[in-house]
Each structure stands twice: as C-alpha cells, then as structure tokens.
C-alpha cells in the first residue's frame, strides 16, 4: 500500500463496528483494563486523520503501535513462562499411555490463557484482518503519523516517522524529498528507525567498521549482533506457536481426525519455526533475506580476530562457519593457517565451534527432516529452501573484497563469490521495422538510458483515442482486473479497467458501439505486431494480459501526496531494491517477456511513466503520456518502472503484457479471437482502422 494510503477494506468494517464514542476519538482518550486491539486503534486514528483531527490521529496511531508491540510482548512472556512451568511429558507405552502427554498439553494451554487474559482479554479481540497486518508489516501507520506530525508542527517526530516508513518502502521517491526537507527545515535530525531490528543494526555497524579495518569495533558489533540474533531466534520460535492458517481447508468443512488435525497444525508451526532463519535475515519491508546471513557473522569474525591477534577466537569462528559450509576451501585454508599459528601453545583440537551454532544447526536439520517426512507421508506440500547459499550476490550495501591484498600470499583470505548475471535465453535485438507507415519512432534503448526499450508516437490517431475513451467510460469497472480492489495501487486515485473480451461482449450486446468495442481488440493486435517486429523476435509473441485502464485523481486527497500512482516494480520478477536484485519467482508473472503501454490522452496532471535503476530510486527516463504514444520494453529486472501520482484529471491507457511461451497465452484473448471469428462470419466486419502493415523497410 502506498504512503499515506487509506486501508479501505478491513478498516472500513472496523469503523462501522466501533461505538460512536470511540469513532469520535474517545477510544484513545485513556488506558485501562484489557489491552485495546491495535486494529481498532488504527482504524480510529485513520478516521481522525481524514477528519482533520491530527492530534487525535497521532495519539491513536501511537497507541496502535504500542498496542501491537505489547500484544507480542505479552504473548512472548506468557508462552516463555508456561514453557518453564509446564513441561511436556513423553507418552508412555500401553493403553492410556498418551494421557500424561495430553494432560501436560492441556495444562500448558491453560497456563498460557490464564497468563494472557488479564492483560489481553479474550483472544478473539486481537485477531486483526490480513490487510491490517500487512499495513503494519509495511509500516503504513508511520506514513499517517508523518503527515499528522507535520500538521502539528512536530518536525522531529515527523522526520522519524518518515524515516521509519522509508526503511520499509524505499521505492517511494517522494518520501526521500520529504526527509531532505526535514533536514533543511529542522536542522540536525536524528532520523531514527523506530522499528529497527537491533541485531540487524549491529551487524550493519560491524560490517562498516570491518570495511574501515577497524577490527576491534567490528568484533564488538558483530558479537553483539550474534547475541541478538540468537535471542531473536528464540522469540521467533515461540511466536510460531500461535494460530495458523490452513489455506487448503475451509474451516467449517474441515473434519480431520485427531492425529491428522494435530499433524496439520504442527506442520504449519514447524514450517514457521524452520523459516525463522529467513525471517531474521530479512530487512523490514524487503522481499528476500541477506544471503548466508548467520554464517557471514562467523566469516567476518574469523578474519577480524586474526587481525587483532586472537588466533584462538579466529579458529573458533572459522570452525563455526564450517559447520554451515564444511567444503568452503578458503575458510578451510584459513582454519589450517590459524592452527599453524597456535602450534606449540594450544592444541587446535581443543578449540571447538560455538555451541549455539551447533545447537541451531542441529535443530534446523531435524526440522527439515520432519518437514520432508510430512511431505512424503502426509501429502504436505513443502520444498526446502537454500537458507545459507554462500554463492549469491551480497544482500546488503557493503562489499567485502575478494581477497585481502595487504596479507602475504600464505595468509588467511575472505572470499565471497559473486553470482554471475543470468544469461538471456535469446539474443537481444532491436531496431526492426515498425510495420505501419503512420507510426513514428521517438527514442531507442540507448536514448532511454536502458536495455530493450522503445518509445513510439502516432500508434493510433486522435479520433481513435477519443473513440477508445468513450468505450472505456461505458465498460470499465472500478479495479477490474485486480480482484475487485477499487484502488489496487493507491487509494488517492480511482482505478478502473476492462479486458478485451468484456469490451467485445458489451459491443455484441449493444451496450457500446460494436465498432468501438472492436477497436480495442484491433489496436492491441497492432501493438503486438509492432513490438514483435521492432525487437526482432524470432518466435511468435503472444498476449499474456490486455487491460484498458484509467486512473482518476480523487478530489480532496491530493494535498502533499508522497506516493506513486503505481510503485516501482518489474513485470516478471520481484524487485528487491536493497539487494539490487529482481527475483524471478512467484507471485511474480515470471512468464511475461515484453510489456507495452499505449496512451489515450494527455489532459491530466502528473502521471509520468518512469524507468529507474534497480535501486527503485534513480530515475533513468521519464515519459509524459499523450494520445497515440506507446512505450514498450522487456519485462525483466533490467526495466524497473512505475507511474508518478496522477494529481488532477484522468489518465487512460491500454496496458499490454506479452509472452513467448504459448502455454501462458491469455485465455480471454483466445475467447476474444473466437468472438471476432463469429462476428466476421456474421459480416459484422472489422473496425474502420487500417491495420494492414506497410511493406517492410
């Protein structure tokens, strides 16, 4: 959700259910009794914000953030307490032998409930909707807080809220400008990340000192990071013992037996615990973790300890790293070198890997074994990730040299191999014929500062733009194509769309002129032919998805907007700006190969299409839409892009995505082809648009 966005779905329902006094702000007037649900406080804060009560909004939003933290702290405290007070008893053989075990389970459950209820009240009070939980995960409340504090002239608090939001949403370029404004207006601001993970902060500080060859400071921070990591790991394990979601079952129809139900729930808990490794290695708001995160602590430390002359600790950390990667030749060489330095003073065999690393790795391997057993025997879907891949590109902003040039050849080394850039499965070309005499070439990839990009004008005429716009007004639905969400990208705009098949059906039914409905079909085919020809593809380009879309600025919601109409993204991979990576994995549309946007109008403000670098910040090209203009590009991580806020009027375009894989052809397009064939048989003819290509140049 964009910065400053209003979470309509779940929050609107909450607002309707809140008593009038609470909606008026009374719900944040004071504390006492059971902990107030953070989602209700959030809903009240958001309503206060849009009602102009900025003091009430700040108060409620701060209370919501505190409530969510206290909810987690209470659950952690109670589960940890009851772990110590009620031990689970192993089942005994024979009839009734399982009773002691289940008795201990029941006693622990009772212990947890008795501990939690005085502060939390009924557990059902704190079951927030997924949409609300996602808002807190992406730190959206801090965006509201920033704006509220600006209105209250509390610039230090606003700057910290902006910084906290930005750390999880680096694609929002406008908030960078906000932060710069705070620096210039308020003088020296601290820019505190209020949701920072301390073990991550210590790790980053340790790496910075390491890069500066400040090895004693690096050791202090990295050791603190390790201590924090293992503490957070224990908390993560405990929090996984909460409620779980069973996506494969409708709860009311779920009638599993005792042991099947226990196994279902336990496998969900176990998968959650097993994934704590990824959770602890992932920065807030990021998609992918820092690769090899935990082992890297020991890798840095083994060399840092060597540089300060503590060879025992250096060997200890090297052996700890080798627990995770026993075949790492470079660290094996380092360990052997340290053993040579200790010869005659300490028996190297007495230097052991660290116990906490051995314990975590042993548990992690057992978890993996149980999950794979469940997958094989119970039909549980599970694929073991590679949690400690040491060959990936570094996932943080620091670089470690591939070798230490200041050391003698026989000295220890610290290697981090880089993952080679993936090679394309086809030769990339561009500059082929445009096929249509009226189409005008504007810029190629080089002129657009990128790869596989082209900008064209006059793809359709002014009359066709107007006709298509009339069709749009008659067939579009709010959010159509995005699961019915009226504002899938930002609630500061109304988003509407329609597909080719829908247009043709409306035309056939007489709701819109059939000639106009067919125009949508014909111009999308024209665009496909141009893209296929210009990029000189040696195989057929198929439609993957075709969408006529309009974005309309909502009145009263444009003041000081700092979000984008469509955040920076790539079309076939998950963009990770922190890592400068784009992960070609679901839920991304990995099968998309090329994209195109054909614009219908220019009578609006804002809405520029932008390309950026992989950091989602540095703009490489900006394009102002107008009638007949088309931008096309390859769909991968080489072309991150987005749309600036539409601040006035309505911006309309035909959005097209293509694939080279016929298995991923757009189903609605195939059905639309059938409708066209039927219309032609009935002599209802094509539109008047000339779609015959000119002779190739």
CA distances from 480 to 483, 566, 600 (A): 7, 16, 18
Q: Are 144 and 165 in contact (CB under 8 A)?
A: no
Question: Interior CA angle at 660 toward 658 and 664, to 5°?
Answer: 75
Note the pLDDT tens digit of each residue in 507-554. 888 888 888 888 999 999 999 999 999 999 988 999 999 988 899 988
H or E stretch at 23: helix 20-23
- Predicted pLDDT at 506: 85
Is the pTM value of this prediction over 0.85?
Answer: no
Q: Is there a catalytic annotation at residue 138?
A: no
Higher pLDDT, 258 or 177: 258
Tokens in use for 336? 């052997």
Q: Please, are residues 78 and 112 in contact by the beta-carbon 8 Å criterion?
A: yes
Select the highest-mean-pLDDT range: 289-298, 416-425, 584-593. 289-298
356-380: average pLDDT: 88
640 or 176, which is more confident: 640
Residue whose entry in the numeric block shows the structure tokens 């790293």: 321
pLDDT of residue 585: 75
- pLDDT number for residue 181: 75
Compute the distance between CA of residue 625 and CA of residue 641 in angstroms, rounded to an integer.
Answer: 14
Tokens found for residue 208: 């910075």
For residues 231 and 333, give the distance between their C-alpha atoms in angstroms, rounded to a whole number. 31
Whether the pLDDT of residue 130 is over 90: the answer is: no
Confidence at residue 8, expressed as pLDDT on a 0 to 100 scale = 41
Q: Indicate the pLDDT class of residue 1, thresholds 50, 70 and 90.
A: very low
Q: How confident is the model at residue 483 (pLDDT cuts 50, 70, 90)?
A: very low
pLDDT of residue 173: 56
> What's residue 496's pLDDT?
83
β pairing state of 574-576 and 581-583: antiparallel
Q: List Cα–Cα distances, 154 to 4, 55, 58, 64, 161, in angstroms.
A: 17, 11, 11, 19, 11
Average pLDDT over residues 251-256: 59
pLDDT confidence of residue 682:
63
The whole-number pLDDT of residue 30 equals: 55
More confident residue, 413 or 385: 385
Mean pLDDT of all residues in 426-435? 86
Give burial (CB, 10 Å; 0-12/13-18/19+) of 513. middle
Mean pLDDT of the chain: 81
Catalytic residue among 453, 518, 561, 651: 651
Share of the chain above pLDDT 90, in %: 45
pLDDT grade, residue 412 (50/70/90)? low
Per-residue pLDDT tens over the stretch 468-477: 988 888 776 5
Residues 6+ apart with CB under 8 A from 621: 448, 449, 450, 453, 610, 611
- Phi/psi for 680 (5° steps) reads -65, -35
Least confident of 54-63, 147-156, 382-391, 410-419: 410-419
């Amino acid at each position: 959700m964009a910065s400053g966005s209003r979470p309509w779905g779940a929050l609107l329902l909450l607002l309707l259910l809140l008593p009038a006094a609470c909606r008026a702000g009374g719900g944040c007037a004071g504390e006492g009794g059971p902990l107030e649900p953070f989602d209700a406080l959030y809903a009240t804060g958001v309503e206060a914000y849009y009602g102009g009560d900025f003091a009430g909004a700040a108060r409620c939003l701060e209370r919501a953030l505190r409530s969510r933290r206290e909810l987690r702290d209470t659950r952690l405290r109670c589960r940890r307490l009851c772990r110590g007070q009620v031990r689970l008893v192993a089942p005994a053989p024979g009839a009734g032998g399982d009773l002691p075990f289940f008795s201990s389970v029941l006693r622990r459950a009772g212990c947890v409930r008795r501990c939690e209820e005085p502060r939390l009240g009924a557990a059902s009070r704190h079951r927030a909707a997924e949409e609300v939980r996602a808002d807190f995960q992406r730190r959206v409340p801090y965006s509201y807080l920033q704006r509220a504090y600006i209105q209250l002239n509390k610039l230090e608090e606003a700057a910290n809220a902006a910084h906290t939001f930005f750390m999880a949403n680096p694609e929002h370029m406008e908030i960078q400008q906000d932060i710069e404004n705070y620096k210039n207006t308020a003088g020296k601001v601290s820019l505190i990340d209020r949701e920072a993970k301390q073990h991550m902060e210590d790790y980053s500080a340790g790496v910075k000192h390491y890069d500066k060859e400040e090895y004693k400071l690096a050791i202090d921070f990295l050791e603190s990071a390790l201590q924090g990591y293992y503490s957070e790991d224990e908390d993560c394990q405990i929090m996984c013992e909460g409620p779980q979601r069973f996506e494969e079952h409708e709860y009311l129809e779920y009638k599993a037996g005792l042991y099947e139900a226990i196994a279902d729930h336990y496998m969900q808990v176990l998968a959650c615990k097993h994934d704590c490794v990824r959770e602890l290695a992932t920065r807030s708001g990021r998609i992918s973790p820092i690769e090899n995160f935990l082992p890297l602590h020991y890798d840095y430390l083994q060399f840092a300890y060597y540089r300060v002359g503590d060879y025992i600790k250096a060997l200890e950390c090297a052996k700890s790293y080798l627990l995770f990667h026993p075949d790492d030749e470079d660290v094996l060489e380092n360990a052997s070198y340290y053993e040579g330095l200790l010869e005659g003073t300490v028996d190297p065999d007495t230097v052991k890997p660290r116990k906490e690393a051995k314990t975590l790795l042993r548990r992690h391997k057992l978890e993996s074994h149980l999950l794979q057993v469940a997958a094989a025997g119970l039909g549980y879907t599970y694929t073991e990730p590679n949690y400690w891949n040491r060959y990936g590109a570094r996932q943080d902003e620091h670089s470690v040299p591939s070798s230490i040039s200041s050391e003698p050849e026989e000295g220890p080394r610290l290697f981090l191999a880089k993952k080679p850039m993936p090679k394309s499965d086809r030769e990339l070309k561009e500059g082929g014929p445009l096929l249509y005499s009226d189409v005008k070439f504007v810029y190629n990839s080089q002129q657009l500062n990128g790869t596989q990009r082209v900008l064209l004008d006059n793809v359709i005429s002014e009359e066709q733009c107007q006709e298509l716009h009339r069709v749009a007004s008659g067939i579009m639905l709010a959010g159509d194509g995005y699961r019915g969400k009226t504002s899938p990208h930002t609630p500061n705009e109304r988003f509407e769309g329609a597909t080719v098949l829908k247009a043709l059906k409306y035309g056939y039914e007489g709701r819109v002129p059939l000639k106009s409905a067919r125009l949508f079909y014909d111009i999308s085919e024209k665009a496909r032919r141009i893209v296929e020809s210009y990029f000189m593809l040696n195989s057929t380009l198929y439609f993957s998805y075709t969408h006529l879309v309009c974005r309309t600025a909502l009145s009263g919601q444009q003041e000081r907007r700092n979000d984008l109409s469509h955040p920076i993204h790539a079309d076939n991979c998950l963009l990770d700006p922190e890592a400068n990576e784009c992960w070609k994995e679901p839920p991304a549309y990995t099968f998309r190969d090329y994209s195109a946007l054909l614009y219908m109008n220019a009578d609006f403000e804002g809405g520029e299409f932008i390309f950026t670098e992989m950091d989602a910040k540095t703009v490489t090209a900006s394009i102002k839409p107008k009638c007949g203009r088309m931008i096309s590009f390859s769909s991968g991580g080489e072309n991150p892009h987005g749309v600036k806020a539409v601040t006035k009027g309505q911006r309309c375009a035909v959005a097209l995505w293509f694939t080279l894989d016929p298995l991923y052809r757009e189903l609605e397009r195939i059905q639309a082809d059938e409708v066209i064939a039927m219309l032609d048989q009935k002599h209802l003819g094509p539109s008047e648009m000339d779609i015959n290509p000119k002779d190739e140049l």
